């Protein structure tokens, strides 16, 4: 079993439980209760799951939507800070097993930038996880440039996590099984990432580092088409869209334990851009690990995806 660092592993702090509960509407109550217990646990249950999967270190982040759905800016800032302080205390108990990503209130770009800096410099977090849009505001909005400026200055990563769209996609009406994680979230999150590319965020902040789960939310499959259509429509960027995706974006295998998309991501983005994640507790850590351990790969490449690439990106080497 190869040693692993897992980048998309979720938790909840007490102050954000009520924000999370609507995400399990429709889920059988027993399963929702189980997930909540797992999200709130930092002890033997989580560590046992990590040990069985060969996960040496879990990079912990709030399970969404968190404060991205909070309408009151002051409350969002307060709740995000409390969640980060809560996580820092848990990491302090097991610094050899846990690291963190900050939870940020993008309702105020300057406050989010300051909180990111506090989390990176004082709490030793590695960046932030953003749970999609913030009340309809996407991360390419020019009002958020002060946030991106600080991201670049700190060398911090931004992990863009799926969220419900502002308005449920009408094309999925009548097909509940296609909502959320099946298809809707991937389309929403991939589109959000493309807004950053086509909106010039990586021209303005060329050292910004974005991470996407689920093998890149389908983007690795479509690089040629992004370039072709950008040329057709006269998109004004310094580079072809595919180049930003290859230079500014990393992906994890969270919730996508299939050989073909893994091979595509490696080929399209480069082997140094693909990393391991289990998406605990929403996916099985053991299933993720079994996939990572058994997929036909050169052993050096397997170690890079499982651990080494994350070590370099997070500055753990």
pLDDT 10s digits, 35-54: 999 999 999 999 999 999 99
| pLDDT computed for residue 24 by the predictor | 87
| pLDDT computed for residue 317 by the predictor | 73
| pLDDT computed for residue 129 by the predictor | 98
Is the Cβ–Cβ distance between 103 and 61 less than 8 Å? yes
The average pLDDT across 239-261 equals 97
Angle at 224 between CA 129 and CA 198, to 5 degrees: 45
pLDDT reading at 75 higher than 80: yes
With cut-offs at 50, 70 and 90, classify the pLDDT of residue 296. Answer: very high
pLDDT reading at 26 higher than 90: no
Between CA 275 and CA 298 the distance in angstroms is 15
b/e sequence 59-79, b meaning 16+ C-beta within 10 Å: bbbbbbbbbbbbeeeeebbeb
| pLDDT computed for residue 96 by the predictor | 97
Specify the residue for token string 């079993």.
1
| pLDDT computed for residue 197 by the predictor | 98
| pLDDT computed for residue 251 by the predictor | 98
Q: Which residues are catalytic?
A: 279
With cut-offs at 50, 70 and 90, classify the pLDDT of residue 64. Answer: confident
Is the Cβ–Cβ distance between 37 and 29 less than 8 Å? no
pLDDT 10s digits, 213-224: 999 999 999 999
Between CA 315 and CA 310 the distance in angstroms is 8
β partners of residue 274: 251
Average pLDDT along the chain: 97
The average pLDDT across 61-85 equals 97
With cut-offs at 50, 70 and 90, classify the pLDDT of residue 27. Answer: confident
The average pLDDT across 175-198 equals 96
pLDDT 10s digits, 115-136: 999 999 999 999 999 999 999 9
| pLDDT computed for residue 45 by the predictor | 95
The average pLDDT across 189-208 equals 98
**CATH class held by domain 4-314:** alpha beta
Percent of the chain with pLDDT over 90: 97
């Amino acid at each position: 079993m190869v040693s692993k660092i897992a980048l998309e592993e979720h938790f909840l702090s007490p102050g954000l439980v009520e924000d999370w509960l609507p995400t399990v509407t429709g889920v059988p109550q027993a399963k929702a209760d189980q997930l909540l217990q797992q999200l709130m646990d930092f002890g033997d249950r989580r560590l046992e799951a990590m040990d069985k999967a060969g996960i040496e270190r879990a990079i912990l982040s709030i399970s969404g939507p968190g404060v991205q759905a909070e309408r009151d800016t002051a409350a969002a800032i307060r709740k995000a800070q409390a969640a980060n302080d809560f996580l820092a205390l848990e990491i302090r108990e097991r610094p050899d097993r846990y690291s963190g990503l900050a939870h940020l209130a993008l309702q105020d770009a300057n406050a989010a930038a300051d909180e990111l800096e506090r989390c990176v410099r004082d709490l030793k977090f590695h960046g932030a996880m953003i749970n999609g849009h913030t009340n309809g505001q996407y991360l390419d909005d020019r009002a958020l440039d002060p946030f991106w400026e600080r991201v670049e200055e700190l060398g911090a990563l931004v992990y863009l996590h799926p969220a419900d769209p502002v308005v449920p996609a009408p094309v999925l009406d009548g097909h509940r099984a296609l909502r959320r994680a099946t298809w809707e979230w991937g389309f929403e999150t991939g589109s959000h990432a493309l807004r950053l590319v086509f909106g010039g965020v990586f021209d303005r902040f060329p050292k910004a580092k974005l991470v996407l789960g689920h093998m890149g939310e389908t983007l690795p499959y479509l690089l040629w088409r992004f370039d072709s259509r950008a040329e057709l429509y006269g998109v004004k960027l310094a580079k072809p869209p595919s180049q930003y995706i290859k230079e500014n974006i990393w992906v994890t295998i969270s919730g996508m334990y299939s050989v073909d998309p893994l091979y595509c991501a490696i080929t399209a983005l480069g082997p140094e851009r693909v990393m391991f994640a289990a998406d605990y507790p929403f996916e099985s850590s053991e299933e993720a690990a079994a996939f990572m351990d058994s997929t036909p790969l050169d052993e050096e490449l397997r170690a890079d995806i499982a651990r080494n690439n994350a070590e370099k990106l997070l500055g753990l080497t």
